[in-house]
Structure 1
Amino acid sequence: MKTETTYDPFAAMRIPEYRNLMMGRFLFIMGLRMMGTLVGWWIYELTNDPFAIGLIGLSEVIPAVSLSLYAGHIIDISEKRKLLLRGVSLYLTCAIFLLLLSGNYTATQLSNHWIAFSIYVIIFFTGIIRAFTGPTFGTMVASIVPRDLLQNATTWNQGIWLTASVSGHATVGFMIALLGNTGSLIIICTLVAIGFLFMYQIKPKPSLNEPGEKKTMDSVKEGLRFVFKTKEVLGALSLDLFAVLFGGAVAMIPVFAKDILKIGPIGFGWLNAASDMGAIIVVILLTLFPLRKQQGKKLLLAVGGFGICIITFALSEWFWLSFSVLLLSGILDGISVVVRGTILQLKTPDHMRGRVMSVNSMFINSSNELGQFESGVAAKLLGVVPSVVFGGCMTLLVVITTWFKAPSLRKMEY
């Protein structure tokens, strides 16, 4: 008699250590997203220049990408829990410096130019920390959860990240309106500190590699070779890199909110949250009803739909249409995030997770932060609306090219 196995959507969350990691990550990411959103609004208030928003992304991506490959080597030879806690505590230190910078005393002592410059310096240091902290979260998932639960754990991991992101984006708009920059940064520091306490309860996760086993450059090359030889991983990462690089309309939301839609900080918060809200909806559905077949084809179709949403957002002058297409873009982006994350977890050997996750982080940092910088440059050269339309069109071009040039990704199933 054949026994049917019942799918348990909460399987990974039943593991206590994984719950602590997810609770800590939720609070940490929520604080970070609040900080990122607040800094974008704050810089635009100080400078009234869309290009200045783009410089935020550049100031973070330079150290994050430059150190990514080295960070992967360090992660693979380090005790993961200690490395993660060190990174979170350093992020908290940067948030405290921003808090001090936002006070009335600083405003009376420094010009807007010097305050903006100081913000860029602090964000540069968060980029250094991010190179080590971001990939460590990915390696911790696999060190806590059994392999047969990795798909479920990855979906939960993406869902927690997206829920924290939307909570941070939406909440900080209201908080800026009610508490100002200083009050908002106090909340951010508190969230990151509580997240640290949850992660502190995780047991040590020693390295599977000996510190002197390989030279740094040999170790880095091994990670890169694996990514470039594994076509499904390379295809998924490349698609994300170029699609988000050109389709990153989110960076220009402060300009759309203030100058085009005229909606103020609360409406700005909702627009910022819209795409993440859509992503949360689809991640919940994918947790309960995971994709069973044709995941590669669905990934490509989702990214193509994302590009169409970005073009529609650029042309909209009505808040509810803008909100709706950003919501839909989040649903489509959520599908691509879950598929890409699952490919990475299932295809990567345990002893190489730090290096592969760092390559992934380098691609993500490149796409998000360089995309933010690209948006700022394009807005200055073309104007805000044409620049976002251009980005959406380039996203569609990337999808069409990948469809024909990467058949293994299009046909991939897991």
Structure 2
Amino acid sequence: MTPPAQPPAAPSLSHHTGFIAFLGARVLALFAQQVQAVVVAWQVYDLTREPLSLAYVGLAQFLPMLCLLLPAGDLIDRYNRRHILMVSWTVSGVCSAMLWWLSGHGHAGVAGIYAVLVLFGCARAFGGPAMQSLLPQIVPRAQLAQAIATNMMIMRVASIASPVMGGVLYATGGGELTYAVCLGAFVVGALLLMLVTTTYASARAAAVGTMWQRFGAGIVFIRTRPIILGTISLDLFAVLLGGVVALLPIYAAEVLHVGPEGLGALRSAMAMGEVVAGVILSVRPLQRKVGARMFLAVAIFGLANLVFSLSTWFWLSFAALAVAGAADMVSVYIRGALVQFSTPDEMRGRVNAVNMLFIGSSNELGEFRAGTSAAAVGAVPAAVLGSLCTLGVVAAWTRIFKPLRTVDRYEEASPKG
């Protein structure tokens, strides 16, 4: 009998055309999102001078993601993920075009900006889980951990320049120039996805039951795996309670007095810390005691945010945010590997949709929490209280999710583990 033909060896990541195209597309989309986030936050606060207005920036994006969680996860598991991501980024480009128009004609006030952000949140509801679910279909499982690390490193490098560029673009040409650049980046990113091939996608199983039943199966999978539930819920509450990003416009304008350029620099500080941590991880990757190290990283994140909250010196604030970014990089790296290694391909859309709600949306909901707290008690007390709450969450989760705290290797979280 003739032995079955062996599949050709996968190319190295540096020669993997589809993976390179995927990275390029992600860099462009991330650039547009980061630049747009800086400019929208500054415009809204500049128009209103009300901390509560920044809360609505996050809420306008969070609510659509919450409402579309179920259909997004189900569709991503049933249809071509690359096509869904292309449509998502195209709609995001339309949002940039609408913000561009509002900046030139405007004067629809902040209500018009909020309306566009709702549509942008709808696009992200599908784009975020699709993007996270697509990578395992591009590279083989043996290269997945390396691909995750490479992807995260390049994304963090791109995150350094993007917020600074947003501040410079806005200071130079206002909202019209900035949103036009974002539109171009989203469009080119969507076009680059045409070069991506999903060689390692598994065959789609026939749809069984209703959409509610299929999504319920994903919820059951997460609920019955304490390592995954603990991982994503830890990040949700840590960022929800302790995130300070939404308050950066207030700190830049009223505490540190540095203007839009300084705001962009502050937003880039966390990315710089993430890159430094990423370089260290690439040389000495974490392979043992990953659960305990993730808890330690989140605790350092809370302490660094506490230092930022109390600082009135720009460079100390910058350094504190850089440390917070480094700690966040470690946490994100461990969390991403645990989720990807533990989820079967046919369920990635639903699991990553929940993951997007818990983690991605925690940023927007955290912005709402921070904005409302700042409106009630002031920016500095709100930031201090949030940082202390993050430390409290870490202490509680170490007791509630003992399997997560004691997990040693990533393979222990595999579907059959």
- TM class, shorter-length: over 0.9
Question: Which residue identity does 2:116 align to in structure 1?
Answer: I
Asked if structure 2 preserves the Cα contact closer than 8 Å seen for 1:169 and 1:270, the reply is yes
* Mapped partners of 1:54, 1:156: distance in 2: 33
* Mapped partners of 2:61, 2:368: distance in 1: 10
Where does residue 194 of structure 2 map in the other structure? 200
User: Unpaired segments of 5 or more residues in structure 1?
Assistant: 1-9
* Mapped partners of 1:98, 1:395: distance in 2: 34
1:191 matched to 2:185: yes
Question: Which residue identity does 1:197 align to in structure 2?
Answer: L
Asked if structure 1 preserves the Cα contact closer than 8 Å seen for 2:202 and 2:345, the reply is no
Q: Deviations over 1:132-171 (max 9, x none)?
A: 1111111110001111111111112222332333322121
1:252 matched to 2:224: no
1:401 matched to 2:402: no
Question: Which residue identity does 1:390 align to in structure 2?
Answer: L
1:118 matched to 2:112: yes
Where does residue 262 of structure 1 map in the other structure? 257
Where does residue 5 of structure 1 map in the other structure? none
* Mapped partners of 1:283, 1:69: distance in 2: 33
Asked if structure 2 preserves the Cα contact closer than 8 Å seen for 1:76 and 1:208, the reply is no
* Mapped partners of 1:181, 1:162: distance in 2: 25
Where does residue 146 of structure 1 map in the other structure? 140
**How far is the alpha carbon of 1:13 from its aligned partner?**
3.9
Where does residue 131 of structure 1 map in the other structure? 125
The DSSP-based 3-state class of the residue aligned with 1:394 is helix
Asked if structure 1 preserves the Cα contact closer than 8 Å seen for 2:31 and 2:159, the reply is yes
1:219 matched to 2:214: yes
Question: Which residue identity does 2:15 align to in structure 1?
Answer: R
Question: Which residue identity does 1:54 align to in structure 2?
Answer: A
1:93 matched to 2:88: no
**How far is the alpha carbon of 1:287 from its aligned partner?**
2.5
Where does residue 316 of structure 2 map in the other structure? 321
Number of residue-to-residue matches in the alignment = 398
* Mapped partners of 1:358, 1:216: distance in 2: 14
The DSSP-based 3-state class of the residue aligned with 1:413 is coil
**How far is the alpha carbon of 1:402 from its aligned partner?**
1.0
Asked if structure 2 preserves the Cα contact closer than 8 Å seen for 1:77 and 1:207, the reply is no
The DSSP-based 3-state class of the residue aligned with 1:364 is helix
289 and 55 in structure 1: CA distance in 2 versus 1, 3 angstrom threshold: same
**How far is the alpha carbon of 1:12 from its aligned partner?**
3.3
* Mapped partners of 1:403, 1:170: distance in 2: 37
Asked if structure 1 preserves the Cα contact closer than 8 Å seen for 2:25 and 2:193, the reply is yes
Q: Deviations over 1:364-385 (max 9, x none)?
A: 2331111000001100111110
Asked if structure 1 preserves the Cα contact closer than 8 Å seen for 2:86 and 2:191, the reply is no
* Mapped partners of 1:288, 1:199: distance in 2: 30
Asked if structure 2 preserves the Cα contact closer than 8 Å seen for 1:84 and 1:133, the reply is yes
Asked if structure 2 preserves the Cα contact closer than 8 Å seen for 1:295 and 1:412, the reply is yes
Which residue, 176, 199, 202 being the options, matches 1:182? 176
Where does residue 24 of structure 1 map in the other structure? 25
Question: Which residue identity does 2:122 align to in structure 1?
Answer: I
* Mapped partners of 1:286, 1:69: distance in 2: 35
* Mapped partners of 1:378, 1:159: distance in 2: 33
Where does residue 238 of structure 2 map in the other structure? 243
Q: TM-score, normalised by structure 1?
A: 0.93
Q: Deviations over 1:106-131 (max 9, x none)?
A: 14xx3xxx321000000001111111
The DSSP-based 3-state class of the residue aligned with 1:386 is helix
Q: TM-score, normalised by structure 2?
A: 0.92
* Mapped partners of 2:374, 2:12: distance in 1: 46
User: Unpaired segments of 5 or more residues in structure 2?
Assistant: 1-10, 410-417
Q: Deviations over 1:37-91 (max 9, x none)?
A: 1100010011111110110000100011221132111100001121111111111
* Mapped partners of 2:13, 2:294: distance in 1: 24
Match runs of 1:262-281 below 5 Å: 262-281=257-276
Question: Which residue identity does 2:374 align to in structure 1?
Answer: A
* Mapped partners of 2:125, 2:66: distance in 1: 7
Asked if structure 1 preserves the Cα contact closer than 8 Å seen for 2:138 and 2:197, the reply is no
Where does residue 333 of structure 1 map in the other structure? 328
Match runs of 1:371-390 below 5 Å: 371-390=366-385
Asked if structure 2 preserves the Cα contact closer than 8 Å seen for 1:136 and 1:354, the reply is yes
Identity %: 33
Asked if structure 1 preserves the Cα contact closer than 8 Å seen for 2:137 and 2:198, the reply is no
Q: Deviations over 1:314-361 (max 9, x none)?
A: 110000000000000000000000000000110000110111111100
Where does residue 77 of structure 2 map in the other structure? 76
**How far is the alpha carbon of 1:11 from its aligned partner?**
4.4
Where does residue 4 of structure 1 map in the other structure? none
* Mapped partners of 1:376, 1:207: distance in 2: 43
